[in-house]
Amino acid sequence: MKLCFNEATVMGLGTLRTDIVNCAKAGFTHMEVRKEKLLSFLREGYTVEDLRELLLEHQIRPVCINALSGISFTQKQDRQNMKEVCEFLCYCGSRIGCRDLEVIASFDVPTEDVEEINQNTAASLKSLSKIARNYGIRLALEYMGVPRNSVKTFRQGLDIVRMVNEDNVGLLPDTWHHYAGGSKPEDILLAKPEEVFVVHISDCPEHAPFTAARSECLYPGDGAAPVTEVLRNLKKIGYDGAASIEVFGPEIQAMDPEEGIPAAYRKAKEAMEKAGVLS
C-alpha cells in the first residue's frame, strides 16, 4: 500500500501550498486534498493548473479530494447544488491527476429504516456517478461510525455500493470509524479489491460502539482500534492503494505542520510496516 497524507491532520494550520511542500520534505509521495484548502488556494488567485504544477514540482501524487458531504435525502435545490459541487470537484480532480472523490452520506436523516437509507443513498450515488464518470473520477463512500450519520458500518456501505453497481463507486474504510461504529476487522474480507478505493488510518481510545467522539482521534498504533488487523485484511483481499493518515485529534491538528506532517509520516509508516503492507 502507498503511504499517503490527508490534510485534515493539519486542518487548522498551513495551506494547500505549504502542505504540499511539507509532505514532500517529510517523505510522502501521495496526498489527499481537502476541499476547504483547495477553495482557499483558488480564492488566493491561483488556478487548478497552478496546483497541478505545484504537485508535479514536488512529486506528490494527489489521491483523493475530501469531501462531498451530505449526499443523501436532499431536496430539489440542495440536490442541484450538490451536483454542481460534485462536478466542480470532479473537474478539479481530473485536472490535477486525482482519481477519487470522497463522498459522505447525510447526517440526521428523517428515517431510521436502514433499507430506506440504503436505497436513497444508492440512488444519489448512482446519479453522481454519471457526473464523475465524465471526468474519469471515482466516488469513494466513507461510512462513519458516529450516531448521527446514516451510513455507519462497513457492511452497510458495502451493501450500498453493490446496490449502485457502478465501477466508479466504491468504499473508503477508515480505521477510526471502522472501530468506533462496531465494524469488525473480518468484515473487510467480504469485499472485493475493486470495491475499496481509498483507506484512512488513525486510532481511537477504547470505547463501546458509537460512544467515541470524533475528536478522540489518535495516531495509528496509539489506541485500541485494530489498525493492524484491518490493514492486513485489506492486503488479503488484494487492496494495494493508498493508506492515508487522517487524524482529527485537536492536539495533533494544533501542531506546527513542519513538525506535525513528519510526525504523521513516522506514525503511518510504523503502522504500515507493523501490518506488513507498506509498498
Over residues 69-88, the pLDDT tens digits come to 999 999 999 999 999 999 99
CA–CA gap between residue 80 and residue 74 (Å, rounded): 9
Residues 104, 109, 112, 113, CA torsion sign: negative
CA–CA gap between residue 105 and residue 122 (Å, rounded): 10
Domain of 261?
2-275
The three grid cell numbers given for residue 136, joined into one nine-digit string: 474519469
> What parts of the chain have a pLDDT lower than 70?
none
Model pLDDT, residue 106: 98
List Cβ neighbours of 82 (8 Å cut-off, separation of 6 or more): 68, 70, 71, 74, 128
Model pLDDT, residue 20: 98
Q: Which residue type occupies 116?
A: E
Share of the chain above pLDDT 90, in %: 98
- Per the structure, the count of domains in the chain is 1
223, 205 Cβ separation under 8 angstroms: yes
Would the pTM of this model clear 0.95, i.e. be above it?
yes
The three grid cell numbers given for residue 35, joined into one nine-digit string: 476541499
The three grid cell numbers given for residue 140, joined into one nine-digit string: 469513494
Please identify which residue in the block is written with the cell numbers 491527476.
97
Q: Coil, strand, or helix at residue 224?
A: coil
CA–CA gap between residue 250 and residue 119 (Å, rounded): 35
List Cβ neighbours of 10 (8 Å cut-off, separation of 6 or more): 19, 253, 255, 257, 260, 261
- Residue 107 bridge partners (DSSP): 149
208, 181 Cβ separation under 8 angstroms: no
Q: Which residue type occupies 84?
A: E
Q: The domain spanning residue 186 has which CATH number?
A: 3.20.20.150
